[in-house]
Chain A
């Protein structure tokens, strides 16, 4: 038995396809990515402030590329020595900067992400940036575990800060 679909069905299908393609293009153009909670970062990918500080101080072996994924205002007040600003990963501009910064790097590059703008469990930037880098194929990405914020967990601990 031959089933004939009504014209309205095809019209709706075409419209939905157009909307879908438009949404996809917009997502690609503006680099929007799904927001991932920091709590979804695997424990094996976390690095503690004391550990990172020790790695930065020893100055032997491969120095990590430290990227701040919070706001520029916060970065300019003070940041981890040598860290680079890429911006809030939750915003398209931030993800765009992150993508541009790491695009040409070898996928084995040691990268440390940090934010610390707000408490870990409420941070939308860390998980998003981490997932994005893993999605790009990076295999050696660590996330600096700052349970409270950069002030309490890094600055107050007496670790070096650069302006």
Chain B
């Protein structure tokens, strides 16, 4: 559903040169003054993924640094998020399919209530660790202002991709396979 005003033309006259100049300046300023969170999320690419250690919903300790040498798919999700719940079983299948080659799926629930997250994890029968997230962890990862958000981290712990929204499964799987093929430096 698209609101009726989207697509309407706000300007009836063609823009003058001055108007075009002002528009260009405005766009440049907007791009230059992007929010910290957006800049931070972009800055993570090519850098070592921010470390965290938390207890999973089922009691095990999950320390990101412990997965060096593996390709990590790090997924932020929530129970009420439809696209998230569509992705999780797919990630679970990939965990089983590529585990031997070095894939590790980790999920971070952005729910407020761990019981809700645990219920969905159990219902979906997920086999990878799930920890509870918070605003601090979200900020560390460049601001998680919408769900799902998925990071691909290579064997050296370097962030290679940030995917906002539901990932195209065929594209993402190819990227995972490519990362799994890279040697551990």
Contacts and interface: CB of A to CB of B under 8 A. Distances in A.
Interface of A: 39, 43, 46, 48, 71-74, 76-78, 87-88, 90-91, 93, 116-122, 124-125, 145, 148-152, 154-158, 161
Interface in B119-147: 133-135, 138-139, 143-147
Contact of A149 (B37, B138, B146): B146
Interface range, B side = 35 or more
A156 B35 contact: yes
B82 interface: yes
B83 interface: yes
B146 A150 contact: yes
Given A39-B1, A78-B37, A155-B145, 15 more contacts: A46-B3, A48-B5, A73-B134, A74-B110, A88-B80, A90-B80, A91-B113, A117-B81, A118-B83, A118-B148, A149-B145, A149-B165, A151-B38, A156-B34, A158-B34
Interface of B: 1, 3-6, 30, 33-35, 37-38, 78, 80-84, 110-113, 116, 133-135, 138-139, 143-148, 164-165
B87 to A, nearest CB: 11
Contacts of A74: 110, 138, 144-145, 147
A71 B112 contact: yes
B3 A149 contact: no
A77 B164 contact: no
Contact of B138 (A77, A119, A148, A157): A77
A73 B34 contact: no
Give 8 nearest A-B pairs by CB, closest first.
A149-B146, A151-B145, A76-B135, A122-B82, A118-B81, A77-B135, A151-B146, A150-B145
